[in-house]
């Protein structure tokens, strides 16, 4: 179940003196933005109530071999779409397994040894206050993932200082 600001506000009204919804929403937006910025810079957020932490981790990328024996990993869609547009502009046929097996390869794969991502570390699940904790998931918003991506691009030379996968 997703919780919107309005749902959280309704729950808040049950227990506290009220402030206007717009003020409440503004406070949550500022808190979430500041929290996201701190997490992206390498801080861990301890959720409380034994629900674990949210942090950024550096993970080693897994490479596998394709049918031609070339190493592949996750697709870099930005670079792939750019290459696709260039090939189409040149009038070349694009590779398609069924329709154009002799076409030009246009998919571009990430080659970095590591990648950075958000992680909800649930920790010791025997002490959690939530039942069936493994059924819950943390999915960062597009805005948070984009902010992380921009931070990584701007700070590639310092990433080893910020992120580690010590307690995954």
Q: Between 21-40 and 5-15, two packed helices, what is the crossing angle to 10 degrees?
A: 120
Give the pLDDT score at 167. 43
Measured distance CA(29)–CA(41) in Å, rounded: 18
- Residue numbers in the chain where pLDDT is lower than 50: 1, 167-168
Can you point out the beta strands (E) in the chain? 45-46, 53-60, 64-65, 71-72, 114-121
pTM over 0.85: no
């Amino acid at each position: 179940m997703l919780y919107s600001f309005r749902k959280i506000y309704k729950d808040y009204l049950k227990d506290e003196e009220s402030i206007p919804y717009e003020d409440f929403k503004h406070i949550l937006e500022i808190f979430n933005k500041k929290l996201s910025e701190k997490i992206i810079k390498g801080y861990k957020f301890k959720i409380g109530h034994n629900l674990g932490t949210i942090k950024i981790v550096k993970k080693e990328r897994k490479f596998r071999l394709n049918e031609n024996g070339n190493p592949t990993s996750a697709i870099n869609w930005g670079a792939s779409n750019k290459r696709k547009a260039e090939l189409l502009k040149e009038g070349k046929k694009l590779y398609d397994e069924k329709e154009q097996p002799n076409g030009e390869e246009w998919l571009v794969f990430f080659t970095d040894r590591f990648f950075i991502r958000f992680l909800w570390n649930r920790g010791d699940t025997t002490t959690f206050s939530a039942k069936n904790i493994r059924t819950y998931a943390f999915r960062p918003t597009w805005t948070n993932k984009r902010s992380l991506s921009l931070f990584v691009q701007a700070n590639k030379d310092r990433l080893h200082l910020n992120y580690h996968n010590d307690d995954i």
